[in-house]
Each structure stands twice: as structure tokens, then as C-alpha cells.
């Protein structure tokens, strides 16, 4: 089964690209053979270019015509190309066949670019599905039995061992552990959970074994809902795309109807002969072909994409380059986006008879035996100090750790735990600890014997460029900047204050973030979302522009997002907005030029002052002109 799926994926993603490349190659060979006078070979090569490059457009155009009773630009292009080729054969002006092939090639390239964009949804869904195991250990009459996730029922009891992924949502019946929920909620620190707490599929179990009761069907788990939300948000056509589709169909109708009228009425109205009439009608189809309009947009956007790539900004398609220039509101995830996502020692305060180094060495001596992220942060902070590991170390889950260091008992943990060993907590340290906790930091107390040595503040580091980025975005005229996070209110407001964000939404699940994005879109229309985790994927997909962190971002976030910051440099968001606004300006200029040329050529054709070669030169000349104009964004 796997091979056909992969073959199907290859066909969907690469067929259009292969067709465009073959069309261009055959067009070049046909042009070369034509100039050498090898007419038979030239005709065969150009016919192959027409068929290979125009097949998909002809199929879509005819399908739209017969099934939806609508005309579109695909069909118009085919008619114009065939008309140019027919007229070229009729009047022995073979360069017109080349012009028709060029029209087909332009549309083939456009179709290839669209094909790659369409494949993102499937890749995102496949990446999401990797987050949950295929099987679960179910307790059946006291014995463990592995069964597929799809066979789990509400009420089943499953066993999750240390280091394993939670297979489905459930309630803990027995056991105690820390769970890394960053993939789902975005919380920067593992969360301690025990009997009665809810666990989510796709989260990573820590050091303790858990017995979990399934309380909802597997297909209703949080991670499955994330998958559905990503799929739904990515398949919803934005208003701008709907407008383009309507414009394309309307334009095609007008041109085709006008072409038919021009090919039939002049002999009766103005006494034209039929040869002149058909000649003018075909010229009309060629000069009215929207190639210049198409070239007014794509070269500009591709140039902007190349410019962004040189600066570490990956635009996944040209539409997002346009949209980022229209952004009026931006939502930032906290953990891993505004912060580094790595906890570290923020500050150490010692009582008078000790130094901060003494506190760090004592804490590191016992925490070196811990796998907890806080313990690792303390050990890392004490890395350059002279210390050795403690002995007789004992960890008390959710509270702290005790050991013997330099023949003294060392106690490290929260305030309640340390108070079991010391007579009292110094008032000045208690006030400082409360202040840190209000700022969202984690406070670790360190004691030696019955005396408190000091306190250590642990925090997720705010990115150095975050505050400057927020200031720059405000200067660019972004009307609303908000922060979305699964963390608690205190931590969220602390980070928001540090970077200059006024509006905060905390303690959010993935679907909550999606709801916030939708509300912002109702008010501001074009909204960007910046995130890095799996929990951000639905919001990234729903946002007008999804922006992912390239280094710290999860695979799903990278696949779902429209723009990727390759080096996690937040300041590049302002650069992307500037590129987007420049692209909009250039596109508008190019559209004016393209429409101006079309109108001039149409007027000239109606007045009978241009022949087909002049019409083709004007048509192709306007295409080249707006293409060169679009290349300005390469600078």
C-alpha cells in the first residue's frame, strides 16, 4: 500500500513541474529548428510543447466549461494559443506558433507553482500523525496487552511507562510524573501530574509510570482535533483568492464573447471581408490574452521571495508575500517564539554568610542527579564552578531533592518542602521570592542543614531582539500586537511587559488560539500568527499569514506556516512586511502598465492600424516590460 501512496504523492507534486520544464525545453528546440529551416521537425516539437504544456489548462478549462458552464482564463489561453498557431500556419508566419507556445509555457509554470502549494496540507497532516504511537498498553484482567489506538474504548485502562508518549487523552488513575506538554499547550516547563489530572495524547511522559483511564474516544483526543483544525483552516479559500477566481472567469467571458462577435459581425456592419475579419479576431485574442497581467504579478512576487531567502526569510508562496504587506494585527506565541524555550538560572541571592557561588555549587551537587529541566538549568549555571556530586541523594517528586555535600545535608526545592528542614525562611528572601513568582519565574530554595543558604530564580529567557521587533512593528503601523500562550497569567504578563506587548491571552489550548485568531480576523481582516510549536499549528493555518521559527519550530509548525524565519530572528518579520508592501506597490504599477498596453493594442486592433506581428510584439513587449519591472525586488 505504501508504494502507490508515494507514487501518487510524487504525481501530484511533480507532474506540473515536469510538464512545464518539458514544454520550455521543447519550445526552445522547436524555435531552434524553425530558425534552421527544419519545418517538419519544428512543427512536431512545437506540437509536443503545446500538448504537454497545455494539457492541464485545457482539461481544467473544458471541465469548467462543461460541468460548471463557466469560461475561465485557462480556456481563453488555449483558444488564443491555438488561434495564433492556426493563423501562423495559414499566413506562413511561423513565429506566431512560437508566441502561442510561450502563452502555454507561462500558464504551465503557474500551474507548477500552485501544485507545490497544494501539497502542504497532506505533509502537515502526516507530520501531526507521527506525534501519537500506533499502539497502547491496555490492562486486561491485570495483564498488559498492546492493541491499536483505533481499538481503544472509553473506560479502558492503559499503562504509560517513563519516557513514552501518551497514546490518547485520559485521566490518571495512579502514579505521579512530569509531562512535557510543550507540543500541545506551549508550556515551557514540564507539568507535574498525579491522580485525577487529565493527560493529552502526544505529550511526553517523564520519569514516573502512569495508569490512565480513557475518558473519551481516541478520535476525539486533543491532538486529533488539532489535525482536523489544521486541515480545515488550510482548505478554506481566503477572500482574495475568491475575488481572483471571479475576476478570471469574468475576464475570460468578456474576451471570448468579444472575440466571437468580432469574428462574425464586421462583415455585416462595416463590410469587412472574411479574411480581414478572422485576422482581426485572432489578433484580438492574442493581444487580449492576460499574459502581461500574469507577468505583472508572479515575477514581482518571485523576486521578493528570492530577496527574502537571501535574508533568511522563507516565503512558501507568492500570495503570502502579498498578504504580509497588508497585515494589520500580529499574534505571537510565547514559548520558543518571544522566548528561547530554554529555562535558565535568572538570578541567585544568598544570605549574608554565603555567596551566590556557594548556593549554586550546593544546589548543583544534588541536582546533578536529577533529570528535571530546572535541575539541568542549575547544573549548567554552575558549570564553571568547582563542585562535586553529592551522595545519598533522594528526590521527592513534585517537591525537591535532598543529598549530602561536603558532609552537610543539602535541601533543594520549593518553599513548602524546604520548610520541613529549616526553622524559618528569611523574610527578605520570602519577599523576593514572591516578587519573582508574580513575574512568572520559578523559585528554588537552597538550604544546608537547618539554615537557608539562598534562593535561585529560574526563567525562560526572552529573546534579545523581541522588544526591538515589537517596537519596530508598531512604527510600521501594525494596529494590534497580542501574545497567545498556554502558560499561566503571571508568566505571560511578565514576558509581555518585557517585550512591550499590551494584550495577552494566557492558558490557551490550540483550539483557543484558533478562536482568538478568528476574532482578530473579524476586526482586522489580515492577521499574522508567529509560532513554533505543534500547539500553534491550527492558529498558523487559520491566520492570513502563518510565520514559524525555523530553528526551534516543530516539523508541523514549519509545514503549516506560510513564512519561515530560518535563523529564528524575530526582527526579520519587519523586513518581511516591508518586502510585502514593496511588492504590492510594484504589482499595482505593473497592472496599470499591463492594462494600459492591452487597451492600446485593442484600440489599435479595432481601428485597423496594427497587424498581427505588431500586436504580438506589443503583447510580448508589455510582458517583458512588467517582468523586468518585477525584478526590481531582487535589489
Catalytic residues: 333
Tell which residue, 335, 331, 356, 337, has the closest CA to residue 345. 356
Residues 260 and 222: their CA atoms lie apart, in Å, by: 57
Answer for the pair 135, 147: CB distance below 8 angstroms, yes or no: yes
Q: What is the grid cell recorded at 532?
A: 513554533
Report residue 298 CA to chain centroid gap.
Answer: 21
Q: Residues 528, 521: contact at Cβ < 8 Å? A: no
Rounded Cα gap, residues 185 and 533, in angstroms: 9
| Pairs from 548-552 (Cβ < 8 Å, separation ≥ 24) | 549/336, 549/337, 550/312, 550/314, 552/336, 552/340, 552/341
Q: Residue 536, CB half-sphere, CA atoms under 13 Å: how many?
A: 37
**Distances from the Cα of 64 to the Cα of 52, 111, 245, 443, angstroms:** 20, 16, 12, 65
Q: Which residues pair with 199 in a beta bridge?
A: 170
| CA distance linking residue 330 with residue 473, whole number of Å | 9
Residue with cell 492594462: 595
Cβ 530 vs Cβ 485: under 8 Å: no
- The Cα 394–Cα 411 span in angstroms is 10
3-state DSSP percent of the chain in helix, strand and coil, to 5: 55, 20, 25
In whole angstroms, what is the distance from residue 11 CA to residue 81 CA? 26
Distance CA 626, CA 293 (A): 9
DSSP state of 336: I
Pairwise CA distance, residues 96 & 105, whole Å: 14
Amino acid at each position: 500500500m505504501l508504494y502507490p501512496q508515494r507514487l501518487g504523492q510524487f504525481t501530484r507534486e511533480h507532474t506540473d513541474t515536469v510538464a512545464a520544464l518539458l514544454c520550455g525545453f521543447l519550445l526552445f528546440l522547436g524555435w531552434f529548428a524553425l530558425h534552421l529551416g527544419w519545418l517538419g521537425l519544428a512543427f512536431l516539437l512545437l506540437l509536443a510543447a503545446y500538448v504537454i504544456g497545455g494539457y492541464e489548462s485545457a482539461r481544467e478549462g473544458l471541465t469548467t466549461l462543461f460541468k460548471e458552464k463557466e469560461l475561465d482564463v485557462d480556456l481563453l489561453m488555449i483558444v488564443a494559443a491555438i488561434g495564433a498557431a492556426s493563423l501562423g500556419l495559414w499566413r506562413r508566419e511561423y513565429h506566431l506558433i512560437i508566441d502561442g507556445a510561450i502563452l502555454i509555457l507561462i500558464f504551465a509554470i503557474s500551474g507548477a507553482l500552485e501544485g507545490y502549494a497544494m501539497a502542504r496540507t497532506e505533509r502537515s497532516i502526516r507530520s501531526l500523525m507521527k506525534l501519537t504511537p500506533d499502539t497502547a498498553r491496555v490492562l486486561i484482567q491485570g495483564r498488559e496487552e498492546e492493541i491499536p489506538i483505533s481499538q481503544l474504548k472509553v473506560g479502558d485502562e492503559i499503562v504509560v511507562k517513563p519516557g513514552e508518549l501518551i497514546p490518547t487523552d485520559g485521566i490518571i488513575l495512579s502514579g505521579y510524573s512530569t509531562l512535557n506538554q510543550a507540543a500541545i499547550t506551549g508550556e515551557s516547563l514540564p507539568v507535574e501530574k498525579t491522580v485525577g489530572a487529565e493527560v493529552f495524547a502526544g505529550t511526553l511522559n517523564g520519569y514516573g509510570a502512569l495508569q490512565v483511564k480513557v475518558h473519551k474516544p481516541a478520535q476525539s483526543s486533543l491532538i486529533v482535533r488539532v489535525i482536523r483544525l489544521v486541515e480545515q483552516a488550510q482548505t478554506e479559500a481566503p477572500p482574495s483568492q475568491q475575488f481572483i477566481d471571479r475576476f478570471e472567469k469574468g475576464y475570460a467571458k468578456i474576451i471570448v464573447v468579444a472575440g466571437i462577435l468580432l469574428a462574425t459581425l464586421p462583415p455585416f456592419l462595416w463590410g469587412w471581408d472574411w479574411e480581414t475579419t478572422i485576422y482581426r479576431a485572432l489578433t484580438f485574442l492574442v493581444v487580449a490574452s492576460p499574459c502581461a497581467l500574469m507577468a505583472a504579478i508572479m515575477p514581482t512576487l518571485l523576486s521578493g521571495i528570492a530577496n527574502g531567502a537571501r535574508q533568511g526569510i522563507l516565503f512558501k508562496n507568492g500570495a503570502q508575500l502579498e498578504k504580509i504587506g497588508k497585515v494589520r494585527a500580529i499574534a505571537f506565541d510565547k514559548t520558543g517564539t518571544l522566548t528561547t524555550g530554554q529555562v535558565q538560572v535568572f538570578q541567585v541571592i544568598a544570605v549574608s554568610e554565603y555567596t551566590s557561588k556557594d548556593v549554586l555549587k550546593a544546589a548543583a551537587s544534588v541536582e546533578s542527579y536529577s533529570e528535571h529541566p530546572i535541575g539541568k538549568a542549575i547544573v549548567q549555571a554552575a558549570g564553571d564552578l568547582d563542585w562535586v556530586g553529592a551522595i545519598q541523594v533522594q528526590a521527592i517528586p513534585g517537591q525537591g531533592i535532598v543529598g549530602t555535600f561536603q558532609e552537610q545535608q543539602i535541601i533543594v526545592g520549593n518553599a513548602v518542602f524546604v520548610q520541613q528542614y529549616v526553622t524559618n525562611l528569611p523574610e527578605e528572601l520570602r519577599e523576593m521570592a514572591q516578587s519573582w513568582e508574580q513575574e512568572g519565574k520559578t523559585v528554588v530554595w537552597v538550604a544546608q542543614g537547618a539554615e537557608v543558604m539562598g534562593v535561585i530564580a529560574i526563567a525562560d529567557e526572552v529573546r534579545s531582539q523581541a522588544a526591538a521587533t515589537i517596537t519596530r512593528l508598531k512604527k510600521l503601523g501594525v494596529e494590534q500586537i497580542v501574545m497567545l500562550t498556554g502558560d499561566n497569567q503571571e508568566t505571560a504578563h511578565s514576558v509581555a511587559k518585557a517585550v512591550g506587548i499590551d494584550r495577552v491571552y494566557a492558558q490557551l489550548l490550540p483550539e483557543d488560539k484558533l478562536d482568538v485568531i478568528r476574532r482578530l480576523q473579524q476586526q482586522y481582516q489580515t492577521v499574522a500568527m508567529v509560532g513554533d510549536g505543534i500547539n500553534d499549528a491550527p492558529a498558523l493555518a487559520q491566520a492570513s499569514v502563518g510565520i514559524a521559527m525555523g530553528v526551534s519550530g516543530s516539523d508541523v509548525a514549519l509545514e503549516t506556516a506560510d513564512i519561515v524565519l530560518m535563523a529564528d530572528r524575530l526582527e526579520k518579520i519587519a523586513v518581511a512586511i516591508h518586502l510585502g508592501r514593496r511588492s504590492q506597490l510594484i504589482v499595482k504599477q505593473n497592472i496599470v502598465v499591463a492594462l494600459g498596453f492591452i487597451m492600446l493594442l485593442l484600440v489599435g486592433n479595432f481601428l485597423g492600424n496594427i497587424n498581427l506581428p505588431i500586436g504580438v510584439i506589443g503583447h510580448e513587449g508589455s510582458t517583458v516590460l512588467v517582468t523586468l519591472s518585477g525584478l526590481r525586488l531582487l535589489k
